[in-house]
Amino acid sequence: DPLHIEVKASIGGWRGGVLHLTRNECDKSRECGDNYQFHLWDLSSEKPKLLIVSSPDVLQHVPIDSGEGRWESVAIGFKSFNWDECID
Mean pLDDT of 4-12: 97
Task: Say what the pLDDT of residue 1 is.
Answer: 85
Mean pLDDT value across residues 76-81: 97
* pTM summary value: 0.92
pLDDT at position 24: 96
Band the pLDDT of 75: cuts 50, 70, 90: very high
**All residues at 6 or more sequence positions from 20 whose CB lies less than 8 Å from its CB, including other chains:** 8, 73, 74, 75
pLDDT digits over 41-66, tens only? 999 999 999 999 999 999 999 999 99
